[in-house]
Structure 1
Amino acid sequence: MKIEVVNGNYHYEKRRKKFPDLYARNINFTLEPGEIMAILGPNGAGKTTMLKCITGLLEWKQGETRIDDKALTSIDRKELWKRVGYVPQAHKMVFGFSIEELVVMGRAPYISTLAQPTKKDLEAAHAALDTIGILHLAKKSCNEVSGGELQLALIARTLVSDPEVLILDEPESHLDIQKQIVILQTIKRLSQERGISCIINTHYPNHAFYLADFVLMTAKEKDVVYGKVQDVMTESRMKEFFDIELKKIIYEEDDYLVETMVPRALGTERNLSSCRFNDFQ
């Protein structure tokens, strides 16, 4: 499935009047099956609003989202949510749903109003949980699992409708580094094995390096920049968008490659005179 945005703009009219040249520039991108795009920017840059406009949860002020060259607004909503999976940021549940019940909710496009989930729906939920690797948590309450496990359950909830596109809102936020890696590896595996296109919101440059084919960078009162990761995520542009100096580092070992960016401010100055003296010891 191809998903694209043509001349999309979601900025409020007051901002457009204050910065007419900046906010007249619209969002344009196209994702083919199996491709991943990261929306990268600091907090408060409007990334979540942009995602909601892409999915039709909010309306674009201008422009439109298209699915296979067809305007999203012309597609039946139930059919749309069979093809598009939206994963919001995970928050602890206030109700005592089990993980199994949470995931079965993703079958809503296939279940008639007032009907109960069928055996087929439960089997689909268990298959999705197994794909994500948390089938053993099926009977656990959402309030009993960790934030990372809940985030994985939300991804499983989208998979039960067998989507062709996954759209994820900062799925790795508020998680420890191990859980972040599990989430990222799961998203990448789903894209590679199922040909699912993915759009992921993040404010972690390293995650964009690991996951994405393309990146769309956004920040307050900045023009949107879109393109291939290597072309867009330069040291100078990261300084411009994040207001911090980042150094790009490439690590290679045999067939293993890691590209990362580290804040220069977190480095420590070496005592050069001490280093020179120690060289002769």
Structure 2
Amino acid sequence: MKFELRDACFAYGADKPLFEHINLSLSKGEILTVLGPNGAGKTSLLRAALGFAPFQRGGSFLDGKPVGEFSARELFRRIAYVPQARRYSFAYTVEELVLLGRAVHVGLFSQPREHDKHIARNCLEKIGITNIAGKLCSRISGGELQMALIARALAAEPELMVLDEPEANLDFKNQYRILKTVQELKEQEGLAFFINTHFPEHALQLADRVLLLYPGRCSESGLAAELLTEEKLQKLYSLPVQIAELQLGQKNYRTVIPFVL
């Protein structure tokens, strides 16, 4: 699996482009994170990359084929998209919501098979939300709904998961749970991830590749080890930061410390 953006440029109507000349590639078992300030176009980038909105120039490609040439069913059997959580008003339980991911994968529009139920329950376990499986989606918190949507995407057994701010609305413990799950799915199942985040520290911990969307339509993409530097993060957020190294037990961690003046 190889997912690419080639010279991608996006604008709303006749407005000036939100971003332009975006070039990146993402392969099996890699995590790419997108960082940038509010208004830089992170969500618009994800939506256009999946064909939900047209690029002004350039485009997105899956294994060399333009995304727009795939049927919706064919594309979303290979790519799972998790948007920012929105409140559900219809009467699905969390387990039923996750089963919808199987419908994407196998075309279920009737009674799900026991095999599909087993996969859905396994996804609930991986995300750590079996305790809310029977609750209505309209009666759970925004953070719980976000985790249920990730479990639904996982149930489709995709090759690439596209996550728009997956840590939004999650408390500290559940943020860690999601990061840990992403890392495990990458290492154990070879999944690729394309993730928007407002947390540069999460990019430091997870990312193999990054895309930095600077104010003013400039951008950089490449290896995380080369681009996640104090200088570039200061430029990105217009804020002085320091990257600190911490050793906890046998592991070394890197964290970003902002200086609020």
SS of corresponding position for 2:138: coil
- The alpha-carbon distance between structure 1 residues 44 and 111, as it changes in their structure 2 partners (threshold 3 A), is same
Does residue 111 in structure 1 map to residue 112 in structure 2?
no
Does residue 15 in structure 1 map to residue 16 in structure 2?
yes
Show CA shifts across 1:86-110 (max 9, x none).
0111123222321011111222332
Matching of residues 51-66 of structure 1 within 5 Å: 51-66=46-61
- The alpha-carbon distance between structure 1 residues 209 and 155, as it changes in their structure 2 partners (threshold 3 A), is same
Greater displacement, 120-129 / 57-66:
120-129
The count of aligned residue pairs is: 259
Residue 120 of structure 2: aligned partner: 125
Q: Is contact 1:222-1:241 (8 Å) kept?
A: no
CA distance in 2, matches of 1:125, 1:241: 39
CA distance in 1, matches of 2:64, 2:185: 24
Greater displacement, 81-90 / 126-135:
126-135
CA distance in 2, matches of 1:247, 1:115: 54
Matching of residues 177-196 of structure 1 within 5 Å: 177-196=172-191
Q: Is contact 1:111-1:117 (8 Å) kept?
A: no
Greater displacement, 133-142 / 51-60:
133-142
CA distance in 1, matches of 2:99, 2:134: 12
Does residue 259 in structure 1 map to residue 260 in structure 2?
no
Alpha-carbon shift at residue 254 of structure 1 (Å): 5.7
CA distance in 1, matches of 2:121, 2:70: 29
Show CA shifts across 1:205-250 (max 9, x none).
1011011011101133140111112221222222222111111111
Alpha-carbon shift at residue 159 of structure 1 (Å): 1.5
SS of corresponding position for 1:143: helix
CA distance in 1, matches of 2:51, 2:95: 27
Flag structure 1 segments of 5+ consecutive residues without an equivalent: 17-21, 267-281
SS of corresponding position for 1:28: strand
Residue 233 of structure 2: aligned partner: 238
| Larger strand fraction of residues | 2
Tell me the TM-score normalized by structure 2.
Answer: 0.92
CA distance in 2, matches of 1:222, 1:250: 31
2:92 aligned residue (91, 94, 97): 97
Residue 154 of structure 1: aligned partner: 149
Alpha-carbon shift at residue 111 of structure 1 (Å): 2.5
CA distance in 1, matches of 2:102, 2:29: 23
SS of corresponding position for 1:173: coil
Flag structure 2 segments of 5+ consecutive residues without an equivalent: none
Does residue 221 in structure 1 map to residue 216 in structure 2?
yes
Q: Is contact 2:214-2:235 (8 Å) kept?
A: no
CA distance in 2, matches of 1:58, 1:187: 27
